[in-house]
A and B are shown apart, each in its own frame.
Chain A
Amino acid sequence: MNLDSKIPEGPIEQKWSKHKLSLPLVNPANKRKFKIIVVGTGLAGASAAATLSELGYQVEAFAFQDSPRRAHSIAAQGGINAAKNYQNDGDSVRRLAYDTVKGGDYRSREANVYRLAEVSVNIIDQCVAQGVPFAREYGGHLANRSFGGAQVSRTFYARGQTGQQLLLGAYQALEKQVNAGGVKMHSRHEMLDLVIIGGHARGIVTRDMVTGKIESWAADAVVLATGGYGNVFYLSTNAKGCNVTATWRAAKKGAGFANPCYTQIHPTCIPQAGDYQSKLTLMSESLRNDGRVWVPKKAGDTRAPGQIPEDERDYYLERKYPSFGNLAPRDISSRAAKQVCDEGRGVGPGGRGVYLDFADAIKRVGKKVISERYGNLFDMYTTITGEDPYTVPMRIYPAVHYTMGGLWVDYNLMSNVPGLHVIGEANFSDHGANRLGASALMQGLADGYFVLPYTIGAYLATAKQPKVTTDHPEFKKAVDDVRARITKLLNVKGKRTVDSFHRELGMLLWNKCGMARTEAGLKELLVEIPKLREEFWRNVNVPGSADSLNQALEKAGRVADFLEFAELLVMDALDRNESCGGHFREEHQYEDGEAKRNDAEYQHVSVWEWKGEGQAPVRHKEPLVFETFKPSIRSYK
């Protein structure tokens, strides 16, 4: 497997500008001769599809939802980071890059991160030009707030709906190009396979989710912007449709899967209320700007929160991390919450919860200001729980939220399969072992608006591949494979529902490969997951037909892929015999419970190569070199 990261030479500040100058270009008149497939039209996909079309390429875009505006990017609440330094508080590109590299526990590629910080400023300009209604101060200038892992205010926001507004900006740009004839949009189409010809990615196979029609599409390059795989845990803050299918299909066709064990558990979600639950709801990290996290000092204290006097409360984040306090990064806050609950000090039903208390903030700035800042989040909390956070502290608990792992890409965002580009959450490069808040939106838009449009041109200018059509035997073969798989799923006619398998898989992973992982637990999973997968193919019940709108069939295909992918995730967690960021191996911790990295042996990206059914995948390494930000113990104390 060729894992040349293609990081440009030179000082980190100049890498991207020099690289842009050195990239071969496609003449404007020749761009229209190239067709690019973009799968997924969330922030990364929509911004890429729109921009590529503006440049003159022909774009075919695909989404499984009924409209690009539904992609799960829409649910991001709190904000987007950018090194604008509008607050004059000492922010800079370098500081944002440093915070992100440190936040990722020195497991990301620093050249990519620096570039991300560099283009972050362009993103805000672009979005404002599109009419994204960011929050503003009375003077008419843009407002900022703080997010975890940072000591400056660099987060731009649109109430609690930042993801929605940024996605609508990208969606509108995309629809503008649809209107101009540059993008053909295929909604309710799910990608089920990748087609490789002559070693290059040349197309995809899709299923029309309304008619069931299997179709293939040929192009000069393929871009995957299909998001993360958090739903492998069944319960997560992801939308129900989020899945690993597109990236997993690509992995099975030869694309390396990087760091699958890096999953982010978000500290502030509404705790699970029952077994029927279908998803968990996030309460934005921005709430920790004003909310204070605490639990009773005494284990088993069942008094109502208002009855617990100040000196019997443990504001554990403020106590353990005085310099970052309630804004400690996500992995650290999540583990701290788990720790106090494990000690029996958790609150609410089942003792799996901690308080997020706004009483002090309301006393300080008044209910009106708090309502202006977080009104919609408070309303959402009330809708779900029936409790009023203005008078009773919120109860929160960590939940799976984001996946830092993804398909391996080089500096040009191209995977090891030439022509296959991967952007947004679907790739692995920028967040290392832990993503900081308000950085996912930044990365999705950076990749889509400002990085891929440059780098994909260089590929197209140099690849010199012959034109292909869907008559090519590789397309026929992929279509046959997809059909055979669907038929197989429908023909099992077993007794268990798809959801019951998915729930069981999720429970296994959450218990043994969630916030804390051990060698013994992971080894058990490597027995239990294949067993569950075997039962799935013997006993799943998928009713209905292949040629109609069949939601049970859609789910079955995705869960079948999760059942394969989960095993790889666990193998990676077992192989990475250290703790870093969100990957916490109980064997490797300092006395105070902080994650203990092992840079000597694990300062690398683990890239997994699929070797075929029944074969063990092979782990390759891309060493991580830190020229600028020297790895140190990550402390937020």
Chain B
Amino acid sequence: MSKKFSNLLRGYVIRPKASISISGLGGFKSFLKEKSRTFFVIAFLTPFLAALTIMYGLPCALSVLMSFTDMGLSFELHFLNPLLKNYYTIFHVADPRVPVVAQTTILYVGCTLLINAGFSLVLGVLTAYCIRNENVASVLRLLWFLPRMTPVIIYALLWLWFTDPTYGPLSIVSSWIGLKGVRWLLDKPYSQLLMILVNGYIGASWGMVIYVSSIKTIPLEIIYAAKADGATDWDVIRRIILPLLKWPILFVTSWQTLSLLGSYVEILAIWDGYSYTSGVEVWSLFTYHTAFEGYRFGYSAALAIIMATIALILVAIYFKVFGFKRMLEPSRIEV
């Protein structure tokens, strides 16, 4: 057992180097007392680890197995020959939709990430630092939180009404700004822009909350000291707040990347039936259609495994770029 692992189990309690003489009940009691923290940690982690294994680990294992089969409505695992046939189909572009779907996904994840991780940072800094009135800041945060609190179907319906080609406010406003006749649900790139906005409007609130919480933990003394030294608000944001938000930025960016790669519900609810022709069929939606419309569970499992692999690679890249290891070391700033 490694030193770190054994220390983790013991928490902050170290097994004394001096030998303990166990004599009778007193010794057993002190043994239990000594190990209680270890048992507590194991008991604390077990439900989480069990849930993780059952909810994610086992389905993941099944998906891997399914990806080597041509499983259909019979729900039987008939392994393909060659075993990697589904993957060949995807990578050798035997399916003409795969490149288009991949391009759409890159556009969707890349642009929506700018909102979910980038614009949410702007919102966080604005509402946590720039706006001094806490009531105004709270109202702004609540407005941004409304889409997240709204059930998905209601949210999708509202967007469908908003973009209705005949009566929707967006169509009416578009005609005022020289975009008369633009069908926001159908015409590329407008439909793709709409897809980004629909998902970005939901995603920005989550990052905003994380950033606001992180900014609130920065000791005010640092900011006062900086102000006393003549720093402007922009200096405070650039030189104090942003550097201290490195960990939350990494967390939000990684989380939102994973979330966006797997998100499709809003797109499905709004563009059901014509997502591909509107240029909004992302990889996860394509996987869903392949599984639950085409009943090609084996092929869709292969699509899902590829998406999951790309997600893990991206997270590893983020960790490298943000210096994850360095962030784990003790802080050099005495706070």
Q: Do A and B bind each other?
A: no
Which positions in A face B, CB cutoff 8 Å? none
Which positions in B face A, CB cutoff 8 Å? none
